[in-house]
Amino acid sequence: MLLIAVGSDGLLVELLKHRLNQMAIMTSFPVGLEEEDGSKGGDQPSFSDSVAEDKFQLDSQAVDEVNNVENKDQGDIQDIDNVEVASGSPLPGLKPQQLDESFRIPRETIEILKNQVFGFDTFFVTSQDPYEGGVLFKGNLRGEAAKSYEKITRRMQDTFGDVYKLFLLINPEDDKPVAVVVPRKTLQPDTTAVPEWFAAAAFGLVTVFTLLLRNVPALQSNLLSTFDNLELLKDGLPGAFVTALTLGVHELGHILVARDAGVKFGIPYFVPSWQIGSFGAITRILNIVPKREDLLKVALAGPLAGFSVGFLLYILGFILPPSDGIGVIVDASVFHESFLAGGIAKLLLGDALKEGTPISLNPLVIWAWAGLLINAINSIPAGELDGGRIAFSIWGRKASSRITGVSIVLLGLASLFSDVAFYWVALIFFLQRGPIAPLSEEITDPDEKYIGLGILVLFLGLLVCLPFPFPFSEEAISNF
């Protein structure tokens, strides 16, 4: 059977024409013979009865053909009544939730979503997986993800208002786009038993104390004597101020860029550290980030600002004369702990920096170095650290989860030789391991200039954390 029309009406007309032409050929001679024999009007079926019966059969056949075509156009979507509803939410990066049936999206709503909200011009649905807290739609993305997201969101708001939220994500199983629709009431932020401002203030006070203590070596050996020698804490004020300055600039970079990107931050929790004064701040993102480029801009802004101020102060420390004519006496071996810090020190000090030779420096060098180290460890590509968010934004969810695993393993190995690495891997594992909450649209790659800046931040953090392997001699540096 030759089918020319695509729509159901056109298909029915073409089928009628084709069938009637066949009947005209088959009934022309038999009808004439019956009339000549005088059998007209007897028990034999008339021509009109034959046409009526054939038309009824043709109508049924045409309807079946049209239904088959329409079912094919729907992409062979399975009947949702026969699909088991999975528990929890279809979104990645969310904590497991106990959801009752009130959160479940009705079948009628799912039909409207796939037939009216989605479409050939945006996202062509081929199947759906219902969950207690939403529906995951599989299919084919049409056109640019950002434009399709805007169209689908506009249609969904026109149909349902703000009841549901759309996400365009990458399916980790086959790396293909999927659309997820969830009720907005399932996206409420977690509540804490302790008020956020109270916890942040408590962590902040302890961090101020550790920053002061870190810059008073006389008190580090006997912590209990601190309360009997509060005057000594004043000696740690300059160093604590410099380190706190790099921390403050870091957080300010996040806040300023987040305001333009539409990202809302919670109150930062500054994490104290006995070794370097502070591990930086843990900052929660309170709303849903629109896209990966927005997250990338916010994540890289903090380390980029902190590194800029830290390197400026570090270089300035070599230029300024030692304080009180003496300054801080350090051995050259100290600069082996950082590839970038050691390289800059050798370039600026030249022959004055030699193996086994003590050198007098302005304490600003040590204070700024601590700020650089804090920014560097926050740039490690793991979990919800700045580096982890940068890796997620550049390479996507699946690749960043693997990078996080590798980073934690390497930090675990480094913790065998470094107390800082040990405490940092513990902090990541218990507080910052992620996963990162879903973004509204995770398919579109960021702009290349932001990708370049993100890779620069990761590279700077790596250079600060890696040791300087070369001996501090003129010959070694010239060969390097």
Domain boundary among 21, 45, 73: 73
**250 and 369 share one domain:** yes
**463 and 316 share one domain:** yes
Q: Which of 80-94, 174-188, 462-476 has the lowest mean pLDDT?
A: 80-94
Cβ contacts of 132 within 8 Å, gap of 6 or more: 85, 86, 87, 88, 89, 99, 100, 101, 103, 104
Domain boundary among 186, 219, 239: 186
Banded pLDDT at 403 (limits 50, 70, 90)? very high
Instruction: Decide if pLDDT at 2 tops 60.
Output: no
Banded pLDDT at 139 (limits 50, 70, 90)? very high
**422 and 443 share one domain:** yes
Inter-helix orientation angle 339-349/364-378, to 10°: 150
- The per-residue pLDDT of the chain, averaged, comes to 79
Instruction: Decide if pLDDT at 74 tops 70.
Output: no
Look up residue 176 and give its DSSP letter: -
> C-alpha 80: how far from its chain's center?
30
For residues 205 and 427, give the distance between their C-alpha atoms in angstroms, rounded to a whole number.
19
**346 and 444 share one domain:** yes
Banded pLDDT at 233 (limits 50, 70, 90)? confident
Q: Which of 25-39, 78-92, 244-258, 366-380 has the lowest mean pLDDT?
A: 25-39
Residue 170: strand, helix, or coil: strand
Map tokens 């009865």 to a residue: 49
For residues 409 and 122, give the distance between their C-alpha atoms in angstroms, rounded to a whole number.
41
**328 and 448 share one domain:** yes
Map tokens 């190995």 to a residue: 413
**Rounded mean pLDDT of 63-91?**
51
What pLDDT sits at residue 199? 87
**Rounded mean pLDDT of 85-100?**
68
Q: Would 51 be classed as within a structural domain? A: yes
**Rounded mean pLDDT of 292-312?**
97
**99 and 211 share one domain:** no
Q: Indicate the pTM of the whole model.
A: 0.78
Strands 328-331 and 164-170: unpaired
For residues 407 and 420, give the distance between their C-alpha atoms in angstroms, rounded to a whole number.
15
% pLDDT > 70, the chain: 71
Q: Would 3 be classed as within a structural domain? A: no
**339 and 385 share one domain:** yes
Instruction: Decide if pLDDT at 167 tops 80.
Output: yes
Run of H or E including 63: helix 47-73
What CATH number is given to the structural domain containing 150? 3.30.980
**67 and 93 share one domain:** no
Q: Would 14 be classed as within a structural domain? A: yes
Q: Would 201 be classed as within a structural domain? A: yes
For residues 448 and 456, give the distance between their C-alpha atoms in angstroms, rounded to a whole number.
12
**How many CB atoms are located within 10 Å of the residue 406 CB?**
11
Banded pLDDT at 225 (limits 50, 70, 90)? low
What are the tokens at 466?
């890696």
Banded pLDDT at 405 (limits 50, 70, 90)? confident
What are the tokens at 81?
């009544």
Cβ contacts of 32 within 8 Å, gap of 6 or more: none
What pLDDT sits at residue 45? 42
Q: Which of 85-99, 125-139, 302-316 has the lowest mean pLDDT?
A: 85-99
Which residue would you say has higher pLDDT here, 90 or 142? 142
Q: Omega of the bond prior to 435 within 30 degrees of 0, cis?
A: yes
What are the tokens at 31?
């009808």
Q: E strands within 2-67?
A: none
Which residue would you say has higher pLDDT here, 103 or 71? 103
Q: Which of 84-88, 274-278, 285-289 has the lowest mean pLDDT?
A: 84-88
Map tokens 């804090």 to a residue: 374
Residue 329: strand, helix, or coil: strand
**354 and 437 share one domain:** yes
**262 and 403 share one domain:** yes
* Contact yes or no for 51/77 (Cβ under 8 A): no
Q: Max alpha carbon distance in the chain (Å)?
A: 136
Instruction: Decide if pLDDT at 33 tops 50.
Output: no
Q: Would 17 be classed as within a structural domain? A: yes
* Contact yes or no for 247/313 (Cβ under 8 A): no
User: Would you give the end-to-end CA distance of the chain in angstroms?
Assistant: 79
Residue 161: strand, helix, or coil: coil
The domain of 27 spans 8-73
Map tokens 């740039």 to a residue: 379
Map tokens 């009637």 to a residue: 20
**397 and 248 share one domain:** yes
Domain boundary among 186, 207, 222: 186
Show the CA angle centred on residue 126, arms to residues 121 and 127, nearest 5°: 135
- Express each pLDDT in 318-366 by its tens digit: 999 886 666 788 888 889 888 999 999 999 998 888 888 888 899 999 9
What pLDDT sits at residue 168? 96
Q: Would 1 be classed as within a structural domain? A: no
**358 and 469 share one domain:** yes
Q: Which of 23-27, 240-244, 470-474 has the lowest mean pLDDT?
A: 23-27
Q: Would 301 be classed as within a structural domain? A: yes
Instruction: Decide if pLDDT at 44 tops 60.
Output: no
What pLDDT sits at residue 217? 66
For residues 480 and 473, give the distance between their C-alpha atoms in angstroms, rounded to a whole number.
11
**How many CB atoms are located within 10 Å of the residue 189 CB?**
11
For residues 382 and 65, give the distance between their C-alpha atoms in angstroms, rounded to a whole number.
55
Residue 64: strand, helix, or coil: helix
Instruction: Decide if pLDDT at 41 tops 60.
Output: no
Number of domains in the chain: 3
Q: Which of 154-163, 308-317, 426-435 has the lowest mean pLDDT?
A: 426-435
